[in-house]
């Protein structure tokens, strides 16, 4: 089957899966009342899901893995290329999931690497799209380690799009704001009931539930946290315990140097930049209360009001 045909099929499956999860979120929500256009929705969709993914795909495959392949091409050993595609996918699935469990755990315990992961935890409202919010460095490391061996070992060309599809589908599932009872399967497969706890702002879960697809690792290595209750609906029960920028570029800048986003709004040029995005979206989305549901404008307005208050001394 040609690569183009595989890509078309995987794209259609992914689109259908997104519709299923969104419907599921409406019918059986884990947290009630979360809007579809929740805070950070457009940043996650436009910047992380579309633009960042597109750019990093080129960086990772063309500028990192391709040169590596030039020096380390092990496909001549035909280690996996003669295996059935399903077995190849299974091998890389388990290998990468094992790696990512440990790397994720490391990110939570190392101050430097935490800065490459905090973006993923910054959302106060977690849903099917939240999995896309990952720092550039985190994606480059994880996807190079995920797809590099597949290419270097000369696996079948179908393995990459199938693996990428599983990643996306599973990412939507475990972040989905959906009620799921996994029964005994929870000991093997990760689910929203475990991963949504990982996104909760609770001390107990900062070092727990690191699994991405196989919860087995958490059970095996003693890092599972599953109290049988939910974190609760209050925004403070979710995300980070400290303020985190709302803007995509500021989120990346914040990982290098800490600053107060609200203080930056004292500067005229920054206010202009900060309101560019909501102003642009306002061109397309007409609402009675502009963009309030999308959670884009309030941050800017609140911060601006606070800045005005600081300036006027009120
Ligand atoms: Zn984490
Ligand atoms: Zn997550």
**Within this chain, do residues 148 and 265 fall inside the same structural domain, yes or no?**
no
Residue in the structure block whose two tokens are 């399967």: 185
**Within this chain, do residues 87 and 215 fall inside the same structural domain, yes or no?**
yes
Would you write out the chain's pLDDT as a tens digit for each of its 314 residues?
788 899 999 999 999 999 999 999 999 999 999 999 999 999 999 999 999 999 999 999 999 999 999 888 777 777 788 899 999 999 999 999 999 999 999 999 999 999 999 999 999 999 999 999 999 999 999 999 999 999 999 999 999 999 999 999 999 999 999 999 999 999 999 999 999 999 999 988 999 999 999 999 999 999 999 998 999 999 999 999 999 999 999 999 999 999 988 888 888 988 888 888 777 777 776 654 544 443 444 444 444 444 444 344 43
Task: State the distance from the centre of ligand 2 to the C-alpha of 275, rounded, in angstroms.
Answer: 28
Total-model pTM: 0.86
What's the rounded Cα separation, in Å, for the pair 209 and 175? 13
Q: What is the DSSP letter of 36?
A: T
Task: State the distance from the centre of ligand 2 to the C-alpha of 199, rounded, in angstroms.
Answer: 6
What is the number of structural domains in the chain?
2
Which residue segment(s) compose the domain that 229 sits in?
3-237
**Within this chain, do residues 307 and 230 fall inside the same structural domain, yes or no?**
no
Task: State the distance from the centre of ligand 1 to the C-alpha of 35, rounded, in angstroms.
Answer: 23
Based on C-alpha coordinates, what's the Rg of the chain? 21
Nearest ligand, CA of residue 175?
2
Residue 281's pLDDT is what? Answer: 72
Residue 287's pLDDT is what? Answer: 55
Residue 263's pLDDT is what? Answer: 86
Asked, for residue 248, whether it belongs to a domain, the answer is no
Residue in the structure block whose two tokens are 């959906």: 178
Burial, 258: exposed, middle or buried (Cβ in 10 Å; 0-12, 13-18, 19+)?
exposed
Task: State the distance from the centre of ligand 2 to the C-alpha of 300, rounded, in angstroms.
Answer: 26
| Domain termination residue (choose one: 205, 237, 269) | 237
Task: State the distance from the centre of ligand 2 to the C-alpha of 121, rounded, in angstroms.
Answer: 7
Burial, 168: exposed, middle or buried (Cβ in 10 Å; 0-12, 13-18, 19+)?
buried
Nearest ligand, CA of residue 212?
2
């Amino acid at each position: 089957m040609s690569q183009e045909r595989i890509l078309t099929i995987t794209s259609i499956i992914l689109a259908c899966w997104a519709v299923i999860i969104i419907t599921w979120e409406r019918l059986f929500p884990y947290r009630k009342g979360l809007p579809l256009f929740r805070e950070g929705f457009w940043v996650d969709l436009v910047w992380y899901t579309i633009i960042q993914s597109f750019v990093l795909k080129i960086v990772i495959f063309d500028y990192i893995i391709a040169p590596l392949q030039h020096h380390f091409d092990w496909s001549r050993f035909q280690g996996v290329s003669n295996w059935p595609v399903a077995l190849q996918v299974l091998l890389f699935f388990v290998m990468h999931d094992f790696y990512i469990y440990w790397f994720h755990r490391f990110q939570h315990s190392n101050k430097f690497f935490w800065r490459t992961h905090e973006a993923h935890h910054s959302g106060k409202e977690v849903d099917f799209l939240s999995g896309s919010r990952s720092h550039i460095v985190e994606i480059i490391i994880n996807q190079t380690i995920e797809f590099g061996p597949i290419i270097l070992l000369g696996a079948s060309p179908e393995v990459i799009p199938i693996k990428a599809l599983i990643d996306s589908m599973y990412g939507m599932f475990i972040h989905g704001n959906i009620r799921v009872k996994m029964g005994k399967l929870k000991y093997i497969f990760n689910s929203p009931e475990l991963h949504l706890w990982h996104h909760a702002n609770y001390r107990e879960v900062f070092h727990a539930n690191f699994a991405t697809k196989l919860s087995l690792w958490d059970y095996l290595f003693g890092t599972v946290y599953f109290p049988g209750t939910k974190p609760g609906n209050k925004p403070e029960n979710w995300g980070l315990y400290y303020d985190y920028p709302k803007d995509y570029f500021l989120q990346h800048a914040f990982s290098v140097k800490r600053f107060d986003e609200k203080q930056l709004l004292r500067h005229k040029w920054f206010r202009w930049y900060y309101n560019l995005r909501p102003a642009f979206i306002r061109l397309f989305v007409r609402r009675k209360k502009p963009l309030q549901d999308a959670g884009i404008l309030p941050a800017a307005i609140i911060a601006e009001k606070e800045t005005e208050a600081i300036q006027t001394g009120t």
